[in-house]
A and B are shown apart, each in its own frame.
Chain A
Amino acid sequence: MIISVASGKGGTGKTTIAVNLALSLSDVQLLDCDVEEPNCHIFIKPVFKSRNAVFIPVPVVNQNKCDGCGRCQEVCVYNAVVVVNKKVLLFPELCHGCGSCTYFCPHKAIEEEKKEIGVIEIGKNGETQFVHGKLNIGMMMSPPVIRAVKKHINRKKTVIIDAPPGTSCPVITAIKDTDFVILVTEPTPFGLNDLSLAVEVVRKLGISFGVIINRSDLGNKKTDEYCAAENIPVLMRIPFSKKIAEIYSRGDSIVKVLPEYREKFQELYKKIEQNKNQPGIK
């Protein structure tokens, strides 16, 4: 089973849930797909065995072959290729790497070269297999790096994916084709607003999901009411605790310091198994 952990709002506890669930189960592979700001490694402390760069193809123009006809500009919808005074100007940061300029150039003047946009690191700590991706500083597009992390999915294991916050392309790339999504929220108006957006995303993708309410005693009852009205299972509640906040702040995992939580995360896994065949329940 592939379980992804997402949230809408940032800082609700995705990484905490992903890491502690991974450490409470056996035969697990943990993938950190929050490639803009990956944090799981801080808690897992893996020994990395390999490191590979992630590239996207970007066009390069052979000016000797180019006659400035402008066909490349016509086919590029991203404005990454502009022809001025019969000379081609490239804006690689806007390029999605679709390849159509290369294909349609009548003079075969455009080739592709690889541009590094991030790295993938693979390692493990004890039984836990670990993969994460890191977007290079100044790069805009995280989905290709997320896809590169997900290429390492090992279906023989229980796979846990830590997703980025938000509701747009990076999250969707991370949770797409997973079997279950855990949405982590906090019971505040911000948490609820962003949860309801995340629920729409997961429903649109047709994936089974449930909610974890973190810092469940700080805020109001509206999140519980929302979940009840929408028939969304609340899988777990974690009350606010300065102890947990402090454990987190120094990069420790809850289940190592407070072993009684291991059972709670194992129960969480059982609840996920019970709920995994109810796509987009309403």
Chain B
Amino acid sequence: MKQIVIISGKGGTGKTVIAGAFAALAKDKVMADCDVDAADLHLLLDPEIKQSHIFSSGVTAFTHKELCEGCGACRIVCRFDAIREDFTIDPISCEGCGFCSLVCPQNAIEMKINTSGKWFVSDTRFGPLVHARLGIAEENSGKLVSLVRQKAKEIAEEKNYRWVIIDGSPGIGCPVIASISGVDCAVVVVEPTLSGLHDAERVVDVTRHFNIPVKVIINKYDLNCDMTEKIECWSKDKNIQVLGKIIFDEAVVKSVVEGKTIIEYSNNQVAKTLRTIWRLIEEELERTN
């Protein structure tokens, strides 16, 4: 079984559209939406939820005002500015370390378990999907990503499937690191803009930092062919394979509006390129078996 993650550094370069296409093209796979902050893959895959679970993670302080004598020990030790002047807690700033609760001489501060989100196992027309929704303004998205991945891997092993395909999140921080750890290949989707390249460079550095094999797709490449050339040169310098270049086509937006993957929506150039890219990924990853 092989795990592939689609990331980009910069947001909006086309991760989910490409993940959706891979869902339509790959045989015997489990899909995992690891952009738990702003999950969108379900909008293409139309899941029927089979299991729904609460994700509890971490704790938040809560002051029992009737017990508090206002000594202020909690405010002295808190490094997250989470204790207000009246010694109640700002739950958004609280990182749940529990320091305040431990120093309170009155035991007036309780650490309450957070319900930080939900995760789901669903059926789709392309097979199983594991996805999640982080609660609004909650933390620990990295832990929820790890949980979604773990579940997807279990399903793939149980069914003896060949692939786990992971839709990642933008950025280079905690959820991204959780989504790439231990995968067989990270596919970085780059758009031909200075920002796109700048961000791809940083996320490629992260994959290299963790020794994750990496490949590149250039999306909407014709929006700036000079930049595309720069990205190709950069990839060559860095010894990264460019799996393909996808043309800009408004049909992609239309397919999303209809809730279809681009493979189902059309046999246009975008779909053809994606078919070739998927074939390449299959060949490359099977060779490393």
Closest partner residue, chain A, to B11 (CB atom): A10
**What bracket does the count of chain A residues touching chain B fall in?**
35 or more
Given A10-B10, A165-B38, A249-B192, answer yes or no on A39-B137 (Cβ-Cβ < 8 Å): no
Given A167-B37, A249-B227, answer yes or no on A39-B256 (Cβ-Cβ < 8 Å): no
Residues A165 and B79 in contact, CB atoms below 8 Å apart: no
* Cβ < 8 Å to B, chain A residues 218-234: 218-220
Residues A100 and B194 in contact, CB atoms below 8 Å apart: no
Given A36-B171, A37-B199, answer yes or no on A42-B102 (Cβ-Cβ < 8 Å): no
Residues A11 and B134 in contact, CB atoms below 8 Å apart: no
Given A167-B134, A168-B137, A189-B43, answer yes or no on A42-B194 (Cβ-Cβ < 8 Å): yes
Q: How far is the CB of A257 from chain B (nearest CB, A)?
A: 14
Q: How far is the CA of A142 from the CA of B177 in the complex (A)?
A: 12
Is A133 in the interface zone, CB < 8 Å from B? no
Is A141 in the interface zone, CB < 8 Å from B? yes
Is A59 in the interface zone, CB < 8 Å from B? no
* Cβ < 8 Å to A, chain B residues 1-53: 8-13, 16, 37-38, 40, 43
Q: How far is the CA of A137 from the CA of B207 in the complex (A)?
A: 9
| Residues of A with C-beta under 8 A to B79 | 97-99
Q: How far is the CB of B194 from chain A (nearest CB, A)?
A: 4
Residues A37 and B171 in contact, CB atoms below 8 Å apart: yes
| Residues of A with C-beta under 8 A to B13 | 11
Residues B173 and A168 in contact, CB atoms below 8 Å apart: no
* Cβ < 8 Å to B, chain A residues 120-177: 135, 137-142, 164-170, 172, 176
Q: How far is the CB of A87 from chain B (nearest CB, A)?
A: 23
Is A205 in the interface zone, CB < 8 Å from B? yes
Which of A7, A8, A100, A197 has a CB less than 8 Å from the CB of B99? A100
Q: How far is the CB of A19 from chain B (nearest CB, A)?
A: 11
Residues A37 and B253 in contact, CB atoms below 8 Å apart: no
| Residues of B with C-beta under 8 A to A197 | 37-38, 136
Is B198 in the interface zone, CB < 8 Å from A? yes
Given A9-B38, A9-B40, A78-B97, answer yes or no on A250-B142 (Cβ-Cβ < 8 Å): no
Is A67 in the interface zone, CB < 8 Å from B? no
Q: How far is the CA of A219 from the CA of B202 in the complex (A)?
A: 31
Known: A36-B170, A218-B250, A250-B194. 19 other contacts (CB 8 A): A11-B13, A37-B10, A37-B172, A37-B202, A42-B194, A42-B198, A77-B58, A98-B99, A137-B209, A138-B177, A189-B40, A193-B38, A193-B40, A197-B37, A249-B196, A250-B193, A250-B224, A251-B194, A251-B195
Sample 22 A-B pairs with CB under 8 A, ordered by A number.
Answer: A15-B195, A37-B9, A37-B10, A96-B95, A98-B95, A100-B99, A103-B103, A138-B210, A140-B174, A167-B136, A168-B138, A172-B92, A176-B93, A190-B16, A193-B43, A201-B137, A242-B223, A245-B224, A249-B191, A250-B224, A250-B226, A251-B193
